């Protein structure tokens, strides 16, 4: 992505962060209020989509979304995506097909108002420093799947600082095998250039998200889990234009 002119970066940083504070405050309250409307969580997810779309526009980020023809409208999936930036979240909320719930780090749920919106929307907290809560997070994900929603995870576990994929954690693969849902590899490009980890500056530009063809976890079984992981990782790397470590 070409480096934007300094005035555009300054403007995008101001408007993007302003919306991140004020917009998140207002829409989180709205998300909490509508969470009681049945089916519970669906209206909140709609508000989350609006939040993501507005944040991208306020930051002057242009989006290109690509979808494999094999994706079936209305079907539930386990989406596994590479992770480069905080902007991955609004990008995926805006473009992911159907009702989706993310599994996100628990610290996000502690943010006043914003965290309330996450709880209200049925998003699932993960505490990477406390493995004892992993079973509870997994059970919550199973409940969301049974309710007919898809689940989205970042199998790297954290944002990558390089053009190489980090090792994949097993949670998403176990979820797919337990539920029988297909895995959809997702590749994100360009978000690190918009805002790398540790930076508050926002650089406007174009980002691309590609949703690949579903992969049946059932075809691999428990004994071929390593092969399944390798195949999903290969496809995510291909879609994101990244190297495998």
* Cα separation, 94 vs 91, whole angstroms: 5
In a domain, 12, yes or no: yes
Residue 1 covered by a domain: no
Count CB neighbours of 132 within 10 A: 7
- List helix spans (H) across 40-104: 42-58, 88-95
Nearest to 40 by CA among 122, 114, 99: 122
| Position 33 in a domain | yes
pLDDT in tens, 21-74: 999 899 988 988 888 888 878 898 999 999 999 999 999 999 999 999 999 988
For residue 214, being part of any structural domain is answered with yes
The pTM of this model reads 0.90
Q: Is residue 19 part of a domain?
A: yes
Hey, which residues does 137 pair with through a beta bridge?
A: none
- Nearest by Cα to 195 from 233, 157, 159: 159
pLDDT confidence bin for 154, thresholds 50/70/90: very high
């Amino acid at each position: 992505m070409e480096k934007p002119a300094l005035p555009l970066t300054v403007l995008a940083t101001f408007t993007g962060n302003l919306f991140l504070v004020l917009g998140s405050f207002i829409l989180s309250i709205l998300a909490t209020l509508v969470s009681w409307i049945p089916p519970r969580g669906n209206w909140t997810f709609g508000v989350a989509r609006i939040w993501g779309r507005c944040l991208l526009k306020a930051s002057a980020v242009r989006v290109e979304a690509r979808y494999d023809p094999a994706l079936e409208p209305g079907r539930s999936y386990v989406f596994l995506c590479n992770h480069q930036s905080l902007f991955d979240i609004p990008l995926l909320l805006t473009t992911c097909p159907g009702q989706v719930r993310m599994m996100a780090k628990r610290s996000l749920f502690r943010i006043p108002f914003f965290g309330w919106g996450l709880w209200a929307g049925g998003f699932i907290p993960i505490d990477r420093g406390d493995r004892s809560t992993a079973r509870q997070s997994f059970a919550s994900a199973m409940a969301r799947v049974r309710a007919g929603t898809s689940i989205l995870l970042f199998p790297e576990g954290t944002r990558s600082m390089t053009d190489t994929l980090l090792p994949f954690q097993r949670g998403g693969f176990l979820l797919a095998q337990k539920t029988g849902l297909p895995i959809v590899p997702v590749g994100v490009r360009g978000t690190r250039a918009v805002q790398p980890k540790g930076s508050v500056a926002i650089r406007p530009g174009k980002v691309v998200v590609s949703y690949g063809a579903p992969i049946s976890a059932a075809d691999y079984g428990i004994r071929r889990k390593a092969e399944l992981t390798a195949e999903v990782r290969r496809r995510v790397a291909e879609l994101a234009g990244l190297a495998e470590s």
